Amino acid sequence: MYQAGIASLDKFIFSPPRVKRRREGKGFRQPRSKKAAIKPKPTVSAQPPSSESLDHSSHSQEDAEEENSLEPPSSSPKDTSSHTDEVRSTEVSPPQTFDAASLLNFDPSTIGESLVTESPPTSPTTDVTSNLEEIAKQLEAPIEKLVVACDEIRTALELIVDMLPLGPKQVLRPTTHLGFLREDVLAATSRIASRNNQLALKEEITKECVAANQLKVDLDDNSEEARLKASRQALDAKKMKITKEIKHLEEELSWVDATILANDAGMKMLADNKQKLSTSLKASIARIRELNKGLIIGSNEPDRQINNSADDVRTKALTVFELFFAKFIIIYLE
């Protein structure tokens, strides 16, 4: 599709203008009748005239003035206006080439020389076509590669920029400046890749968080401590009661004392266990803190917007290629 569009664009740009040739063998124009002099006024199109049409109209007016100065004056003003309209309607003939060989009295080839330097013909259409194909090929690359190798687009576009219409030129020019977004696009792409490759790290952090949550639950569990405290209070009450009521029950008092010592040992053991749990929890929190340093905080949306804004330039350029070539293919076929 691109090659067909580029070929139609080149044919439209470089096709020679159509020139109306005057009939040979006629010296002066025959005067037209008054009815023939009356012509319908041309409709003015809404499209502004191009620079080529302005140049063409200026040359036509100059030729018309020269022909009016050479022709004899006419008595009828209607004939003069019809003659002026006829002169203005004719287009400028192509310039005649200068032949230096016609000025020589001999043929330079007889002495092994030539006035014309032979060189392979170069076609601007071929250059424009190849450059447009190269630009289209570069624009189809991913944006992270395009921002690195946009110099080739700039080089190819500078060679043909003066041959392109204003619309495609305005859309294609920003593609030559994509290199200024190189650091932002590459950094955004790198961050997106890093986030997508840190699944194992997230799983390890999740496991550590689950273990830390269980340690915190064990640390906050005071049921055993409450039970032991309640048991100690009951034993103290029982001790006081036994001391007051039965001083002679030494065996029972000894048993109670032994039970109290056992409870104290349990309290101490529980305190030691809690100390170990607290140390493990602190170590787990420190491990989580170190692992969090490896995370890239943020979402991918801002970085995607950076890539999308740079990719929009590439997409708009490709869209203009498609629309512009399709438009001129239709015009050319018509």
Q: How far is CA 252 from the centre of its chain?
A: 91
Amino acid at 114: S
Per-residue pLDDT of the chain (334 residues; tens, 9 = 90+): 444 444 444 444 444 434 334 443 444 344 444 333 334 343 333 333 333 333 444 344 444 444 444 343 333 333 433 433 433 333 334 445 566 667 777 777 777 677 665 544 444 555 777 778 888 887 888 888 888 877 787 888 788 888 878 887 788 888 877 888 888 888 998 888 888 888 888 888 888 899 899 988 888 888 888 899 999 999 998 888 877 777 777 777 788 788 899 999 999 999 999 999 999 999 999 998 888 888 777 788 888 888 888 888 888 888 887 887 777 777 766 6
Q: Map tokens 């400046």 to a residue.
A: 177
Res 115: pLDDT: 67
- Six-digit token pair at 19? 């020139």
The structural domains of the chain, with segments of one domain joined by +, span 124-193+302-333, 199-295
Q: Which two tokens stand for residue 23?
A: 């009939």
State the Rg of the chain over Cα. 48
Q: Angle between the 124-139 and 151-160 helix axes, to the nearest 10 degrees?
A: 150
* 3 state SS of 16: coil
pTM of the predicted protein model: 0.28
With H, G, I as helix, E, B as strand and everything else as coil, classify residue 159: helix
Phi/psi for 64 (5° steps) reads: -65, -40
Distances (CA, A) of 285 to 163, 207, 213: 67, 12, 10
* Residues recorded for the chain: 334
- Amino acid making up residue 143: I
Q: Let me know: does 148 contact 26? Beta carbons within 8 Å.
A: no
The closest of 53, 32, 320 to 167, measured between CA atoms, is 320
Residue 231's pLDDT is what?
92
Any idea of the CA torsion for 219, 223, 227, 228, to the nearest 10 degrees?
Answer: 0
CA-based nearest residue to 62, from 37, 22, 92: 92
